[in-house]
Amino acid sequence: MATALLQTVKLFCERDDRVLIRDLDFALQPGEVVQIEGPNGSGKTTLLRILCGLSDDFSGNILWQGAARRRVDSEFRRDTLYFGHLTGVKFSLSARENLRWILQLKGIPPHAPGLDDRIDQALSNVGLYSYEDVPVYSLSAGQKRRVALARLFVEPADLWVLDEPFTAIDRKGVTQLEGLIQAHAGRGGSVLITTHHALDLPTIRKLQLGLGRGTWQIQ
Partner 1 sequence: MADPIVSQPLRAVEVPSMWSGMMAIMKRDLKIAFRQRSDMVNPLFFFVMVIALFPLGIGPEPSTLQKIGPGVIWIAALLSTLLSVDSLFRQDFDDGSLELALLSPQPLFVLAFGKVIAHWLVTAIPLILVAPILSVMLYMDRDTVWVTLYSLLLGTPVLSMISAIGAALTVGLRKGGVLVAVIALPLYIPVLIFGTSAVEAAAMTLPYAGQLAYLAAFLVLALTFAPFAIGAALRISVTSQ
Task: Choose the binding region for partner 1 from 2-10, 89-97, 190-198, 200-208 (rule: CB under 8 A).
Answer: 89-97
Q: What is the dihedral sign for C-alpha 136, 137, 140, 141?
A: positive
The span from the CA of 61 to the CA of 96, in Å, is 38
Asked if 110 touches partner 1 (CB under 8 A), the answer is: yes
CB of 128 to partner 1, least distance (A): 15
The span from the CA of 209 to the CA of 216, in Å, is 5
Q: Binding partner 1 by CB under 8 A: which of 125, 143, 167, 215? A: 125
Q: Binding partner 1 by CB under 8 A: which of 147, 159, 180, 209? A: 180
State the alpha helices, DSSP H only, in 38-170: 44-52, 73-78, 95-105, 115-125, 141-149, 151-154
Q: Binding partner 1 by CB under 8 A: which of 97, 127, 201, 205? A: 97
For residue 89, what is the DSSP state? -
Largest CA distance in the chain: 52
Closest to partner 1 by CB, 23 vs 75, is 75
- Number of shown-chain residues binding partner 1 (CB under 8 A): 50
Asked if 115 touches partner 1 (CB under 8 A), the answer is: yes
The span from the CA of 195 to the CA of 83, in Å, is 12
Q: Binding partner 1 by CB under 8 A: which of 95, 102, 128, 149? A: 102
Closest to partner 1 by CB, 34 vs 123, is 123
CB of 165 to partner 1, least distance (A): 14
Closest to partner 1 by CB, 117 vs 212, is 117
**Residue 209: which of 31, 23, 54 has the closest Cα?**
23
Q: What is the dihedral sign for C-alpha 162, 165, 179, 138?
A: negative
Within 13 Å of residue 58, how many CA atoms lie on the same side as its CB?
Answer: 27
Interface residues for partner 1 in 6-65 (CB under 8 A)?
A: 52-57
CB of 110 to partner 1, least distance (A): 7
Sort 44 into a burial class: Cβ within 10 Å, 0-12 / 13-18 / 19+.
buried
Q: Binding partner 1 by CB under 8 A: which of 4, 5, 122, 192? A: 122
Asked if 168 touches partner 1 (CB under 8 A), the answer is: no
Which residues bind to partner 1, rule: CB under 8 A? 52-57, 74-75, 77-78, 80, 82, 84-93, 97, 101-110, 112, 114-115, 117-118, 121-122, 125, 135, 153-156, 176, 179-180, 183
